[in-house]
Amino acid sequence: MSAIVPNQMQALVLTSPGSFEVSTVPVPKPGPQEVLCRIRAVAICGSDPEIIRGDLAGVWPPAYPFTPGHEWSGEVVALGDGVLGFKVGDRVSGEAHKGCGYCRNCLAGRYNLCENYGRPETGHRHYGFISPGAYAQYSVYSIRSINLLPATVPFREGALVDTAGAGLHGLELAGVIAGDTVVIIGPGPIGLIAMRFAKALGAARVIVVGRGARLKAAAALGADAVVDFEHEEPVAAVRALTDQLGVDLVCECSGAPGTLAQSVRMVRKGGRVALVGVATDKVREELPFKYIVHNEIAIFGSRANPNVARRIIQMMASGRIKVRDLITHTFALEDFAQGLDTFVHRRDGVIKVVIEPNGAE
C-alpha cells in the first residue's frame, strides 16, 4: 500500500566540500522494515554547516554526492516489506541514529553508541551524516528511527523533537533532582529547550550563561537569571548567584573553548556536569584534577538523543514543553542557501530555521 509518489523529487545535494545545489533526483524506495516519508519540515542543526563546508569530508559525509539533514518530521507515503506499527498517512518525527540492534551497546539501549557505527551492512544508519538525510522532498527511514506524531503537534514543531532530545538526554544522564539549581551554558536552540526541560523535570532555578540576542531570548523565554560572559566572569557570577556554594548541575550546550573548566568550577561539592555541546577536535582544556576528585564532581559526556523522542512528543502534545516560539524563520527548499546564511550568521534574531521541502502545512 502506498500513496501517489512521483519518480523524481527535489533534494539538496552536496557536490563537493562547500558546494551544494538543489537538484532533481530519483525518489528512493524503502527496503525491508523501512518506510518512505514525505518530508514536511527539516530544521537546520548546528552540525549541518560543518557537514556542508566539508570539515569532516570522508566521514560526514563519507562521499559525494550526498544529501544531509537529520532534524525532520513528515508523513509516511510507502511501506517496505515487514513494516509493522506504521501505515501510509501516519505523521512521524525522525531520529538520526539507528543502531545495528545486536551489539552490546544497542542491546543496552545505547544505539547512539553502536559498536558497528559506519558499517551499513550491519544495519547501522546515521541519517544525514553517513546515510542519506532529510533535505529532500522524500527520504527513506528505518521504522526504528521514526515515532508517531499526533495531529496536535505541527510538522514545524515536530522537526524540533531531535533538537529537544539532545538537551533532555544530557539532563537525564546527569540527573535533575527536584529543587536543583541548574546552569545552561549556551542559549542556542538546544540550550533554550534544555532550560525548559530542566524546569519541567523539577529544577527550582535555571541560570543561563551566554551573550547577545540569544541571551536576551533566554531571559524573555523563562530563565530565572542570566550571565553575560562578555561583561562578567561567568564562574564568579554564578557563584555570586548561589551564595558562593555553586549549582547542582551544569548543562554545557555550546562546545566553546573554556566552558568545560568553567562548568567544573560552577558546580557545588558533589555537583554534576553534562556535556551536550560538541566542541571541535582542536578544543583542549586543562582541568583541576584534584578539585574534581576532592569534590566528587561527576562529568557526563552526552551524545545525541536516544530513547527520549516519544516522551518529548508527549510533552509537546500536552503543552508542557513549547518550541513554537523558537522557530523564527522558515524557508522553502529552493531557498536553502538563504536559510543557511540566516542561521550561520545569526541574522534577524534567528534562533531556529526550518526548511519545508513540500511547502507549509
The predicted model gives 168-176 an average pLDDT of: 98
The architecture CATH gives domain 166-301 = 3-Layer(aba) Sandwich (3.40)
DSSP H or E stretch at residue 155: helix 155-158
pTM of the predicted model over 0.75: yes
What is the spatial distance between Cα 248 and Cα 257, in angstroms, rounded to a whole number?
Answer: 22
pLDDT at 91 over 60: yes
State the fold for domain 8-160+323-356: Quinone Oxidoreductase; Chain A, domain 1 (3.90.180)
The predicted model gives 52-69 an average pLDDT of: 97
Q: Residue with C-alpha cell 512528543?
A: 313
Confidence band, pLDDT 50/70/90 cuts, at residue 3: confident
Beta strands 34-43; 71-79: pairing state:
antiparallel
Amino acid 66: pLDDT: 98
Amino acid 52: pLDDT: 98
Listed in sequence order, the residues at least 6 apart from 223 whose beta carbon sits closer than 8 Å to its beta carbon are 184, 187, 195, 206, 207, 208
Angle between helices 309-318 and 161-174 (to 10 degrees): 110
The amino acid that residue 208 corresponds to is: V
> For residue 250, which of 240, 262, 242 has the smallest C-alpha distance?
262
21-52 residue pLDDT tens: 999 999 999 999 999 999 999 999 999 999 99
Amino acid 1: pLDDT: 55
CATH 3.40.50.720 in the chain: give the residue spans.
Answer: 166-301
The predicted model gives 175-192 an average pLDDT of: 98
128 three-state secondary structure: coil
What is the spatial distance between Cα 278 and Cα 75, in angstroms, rounded to a whole number?
Answer: 30
267-319 residue pLDDT tens: 999 999 999 999 999 999 999 999 999 999 999 999 999 999 999 999 999 99
Question: What percent of the chain is modeled with pLDDT above 70?
Answer: 99
> For residue 247, which of 295, 200, 214, 215 has the smallest C-alpha distance?
295
The predicted model gives 5-13 an average pLDDT of: 98
CATH 3.90.180.10 in the chain: give the residue spans.
Answer: 8-160+323-356
pLDDT at 53 over 70: yes
Q: What angle do CA 239, 242, 248 make, to 5 degrees?
A: 90
Amino acid 279: pLDDT: 94
pLDDT at 18 over 80: yes
Amino acid 2: pLDDT: 64
